Amino acid sequence: MYFVYSLLMGTAMLLATPWWLLQMARHAKYRAGLAQRLGFVPEHAKRVTQQVLWIHAVSVGEVLAISTLVKQLRERHPDRRIFVSTTTASGNQLARDRFGDENVFYFPLDFGFAIRPYLRALRPEMIILAETEFWPNFLRLAAKSGAKIAVVNARISDRSFPRYRRWQKLFRTVLQPVGMFLAQSEEDARRLVEIGAEKERVRVGGNLKFEVNSAMNVEIVHQVREGFADGGVQPLIVAGSTVEGEEPLVLAACAEVQKQYPQMAVILAPRHRERFVSVAKLVEGSSFQLVRRTAWRREPLMPGTVFLLDSIGELASLYAVATIAFVGGSLVPRGGHNILEPAQHGVPIVIGPHYENFRDIITIFKRAEAVRIVDAEHLGAEFLALLQNHAERSGPSSVGQRAAEVVRAQAGATERTLQALDRFLTGTP
């Protein structure tokens, strides 16, 4: 099975080589970490003398989810070296910011020639995979090297589940090397078993993303809040993690708001950095005035401004200045993005109808009436409804305060995960 899989993977990569070369020429993110992905271990990961815990987090969301876990593991195991690998460039940058350049590298491609150098260099005692990183060759070779393998914050999305279940017999073999699964919910645990995980290895650990305590950048919050206050802006809509096709819809909705609230302004944060330029051009062609974060010199930010957040790592903090937060990836069928960052600030949250990637989180918020869900056609009307309803927008029992309470009530996943990992690491039943 593994030979056939590797052959198909190799053939697919060979056929896709022209496309990848084109993308590498056009976008730096496709060139980032290429040598590391191909199995060239960076110097800081060579000649490691301590025992190693290797944690893999694909992108920004997973890095945020494991941040507290990494901090606590370091405190509990000061004698062990903890490395974090990522797949995406944005995830890699955030991981280096949070965990240090010397502790981060790109995850190797799922070929033996790329994987084995890392296993030889690190000799990991335990490998911890965040969510659903089920790479067949990696799992097989990691287990063969003697590493214990755990999957934390495991989830099986609505989109992936039918496909995984269709190949259950193969997945049963692929998942065999994993010694422990800690699922986000009972539903995820059930799905893991259904696609081939051994039932006795599956537990519910909770959702680590509920305990994302993003480091507050107090300075940027103060600067931006002061900039909008000096310009007399009120209200301020923060639209975060928007994806292609959403910005025109968001700007149209904000234009509706502007008719009744001419002092309003917008902070717009596209999800992917390679779209900053195209989104800037889009704003320039709208009725709003563009101010790019990277060009801003702390002059007053005036009503009718779209403050384009063409930076990385500041969105989580700037949700704190929002009157209303919109979280993107949800007006178009992209599965949505995490709403916990604005929720932690007690900000009223609006999302679109496509949130399947975060269905469990959104379901909990829906039960508490702590999030508003609308389609693109009614987005502007929803913004206006919240602005016109003081109790729901900013009262002591507002939708934002209910969201903050949901986050507080879901605490504990990190501690449960830590305890389970400690028992797994030491072989304690």
Contact yes or no for 66/91 (Cβ under 8 A):
no
Q: Contact 417/69 with Cβ under 8 angstroms?
A: yes
- Which of 43, 62, 299, 382 is flagged as catalytic? 62
User: Can the peptide bond before residue 177 be classed as cis, meaning omega within 30 degrees of 0?
Assistant: no
Question: How far is residue 83's CA from residue 11's CA, in Å, rounded to a whole number?
Answer: 31
Nearest to 215 by CA among 98, 323, 325, 99: 98
- The question of whether 356 is a catalytic residue gets the answer no
What 3-state DSSP class applies to 419?
Answer: helix
Beta carbons of 259 and 287 less than 8 angstroms apart: no
- Cα 383 from Cα 381, distance rounded (Å): 5
Between the alpha carbon of residue 268 and those of residues 23, 174, 315, 394, 395, the distances in Å are 26, 41, 9, 22, 25
User: What whole-number distance in Å separates Cα of residue 11 and Cα of residue 30?
Assistant: 19
H/E stretch holding 81: strand 80-86
User: Which residues are known to be catalytic?
Assistant: 62
